[in-house]
């Protein structure tokens, strides 16, 4: 982790009447890193980002953003950050290029060469009026403005909403370039593959509080790896090994889950059985996420099926 932090949030609380949106949220973004910020709708992500932008005042807790307080130092800090929401609203009578210029000035200096490169990469015609743009093109305007600025910290809340897979790939390339330049990114997204490709670390929140935070490798140590093998000699001895779960044998095909701490010993035992094939799949970011939300989502699906 970087020795300096672009963003540090500690014990953040925010309520709206009786509803508690944030209940002691902790979040850090080290300088020069991309941090994924995950949670379903209603978990408190957007409320947290609004606090970071100085649009809401927290009830309790502390926020240090680029060394300042976003509530008391909003004007100065907005010169050093860029923000892309998931639903972009533009001035209908301005062209896309004019909107980009205005948005970029809010976020600091605009690099004309990078602006031209981003317009080409995202295939956006800046001469058209904003009122003619689709949702995806409005999203591109905000992305170009943020990516072409010299902002030190980018706050991205569902930034690829409305984009097709080709444009999502363009976004991924752009964020990697920002990271190479030493800039910092907080990325809130429902696209797990996108976050998994880009994030140095991930924070998962639930009901306004942090439930997991760390690198994806660190989070994987908290769950199990799925192993599939073809064994001519059967699965002798595997059931007795510590850390092996849900063993299923069908003919020569063997599948099971294994605790991360037991993985080296279990794989060594499988290798000694002379497998024809062996595949070990560590959990994806989506599986890590569902570790916290799987039961809740299953319950919602069940309720939907009963309606």
- How far apart CA 47 and CA 53 sit, in angstroms, is 10
Q: What is the pLDDT along the chain (307 residues), one digit of tens a residue?
A: 555 999 999 999 999 999 999 999 999 999 999 999 998 888 999 999 999 999 999 999 999 999 999 999 999 999 999 999 999 999 999 999 999 999 988 877 888 999 999 999 999 999 999 999 999 999 999 999 999 999 999 999 999 999 999 999 999 999 999 999 999 999 998 888 889 899 999 999 989 999 889 888 777 666 778 889 998 877 777 888 888 888 898 888 898 888 878 888 989 888 888 888 988 887 777 777 776 665 554 443 444 433 3
Tokens 């902002």 belong to residue? 151
Output the pTM of the full model.
Answer: 0.80
Instruction: Kindly give, in sequence order, each residue whose CB lies less than 8 Å from that of residue 193, ignoring residues fewer than 6 positions away.
Output: 285, 286
Please enumerate in sequence order all residues whose Cβ is within 8 A of that of 191, keeping only pairs 6 or more positions apart, or say none: 160, 168
Distance, in Å, from the CA atom of 124 to the CA atom of 140, rounded to the nearest integer, reads 7
Domains of the chain (ranges, CATH numbers):
5-220 (3.40.50.300), 224-282 (3.30.70)
Q: What is the pLDDT of residues 24-42, one digit of tens each?
A: 999 999 999 999 999 888 8
């Amino acid at each position: 982790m970087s020795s300096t932090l672009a963003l540090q949030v500690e014990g953040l609380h925010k309520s709206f009447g009786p509803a508690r949106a944030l209940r002691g949220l902790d979040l850090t973004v080290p300088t020069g890193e991309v941090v994924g910020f995950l949670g379903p709708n209603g978990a408190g992500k957007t409320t947290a980002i609004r606090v970071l932008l100085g649009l809401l005042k927290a009830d309790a807790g502390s926020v240090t953003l680029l060394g300042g307080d976003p509530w008391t130092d909003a004007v100065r800090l907005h010169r050093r950050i860029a923000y892309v929401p998931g639903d972009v609203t533009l001035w209908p009578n301005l062209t896309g290029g004019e909107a980009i210029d205005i948005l970029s000035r809010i976020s600091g200096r605009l690099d004309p060469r990078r602006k031209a490169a981003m317009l080409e990469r995202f295939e956006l015609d800046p001469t058209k009026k904003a009122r003619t743009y689709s949702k995806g093109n409005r999203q591109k305007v905000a992305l170009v403005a943020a990516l072409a600025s010299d902002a030190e910290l980018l706050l991205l809340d569902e930034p690829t909403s409305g984009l097709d897979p080709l444009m999502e790939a363009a976004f991924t390339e752009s964020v990697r370039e920002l990271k190479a330049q030493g800039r910092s990114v907080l990325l809130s997204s429902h696209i797990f593959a996108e976050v998994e490709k880009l994030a140095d670390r991930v924070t998962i929140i639930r009901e306004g509080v942090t439930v997991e935070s760390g690198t994806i490798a660190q989070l994987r140590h908290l769950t199990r790896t799925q192993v599939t093998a073809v064994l001519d000699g059967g699965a002798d001895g595997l059931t007795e090994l510590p850390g092996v779960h849900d063993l299923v044998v069908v003919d020569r095909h063997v599948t099971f889950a294994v605790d991360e701490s037991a993985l080296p010993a279990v794989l060594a035992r499988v290798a000694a059985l002379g497998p024809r094939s062996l595949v070990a799949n560590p959990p994806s970011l989506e599986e890590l996420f569902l570790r916290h939300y799987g039961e809740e989502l299953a319950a919602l699906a069940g309720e939907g099926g009963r309606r």
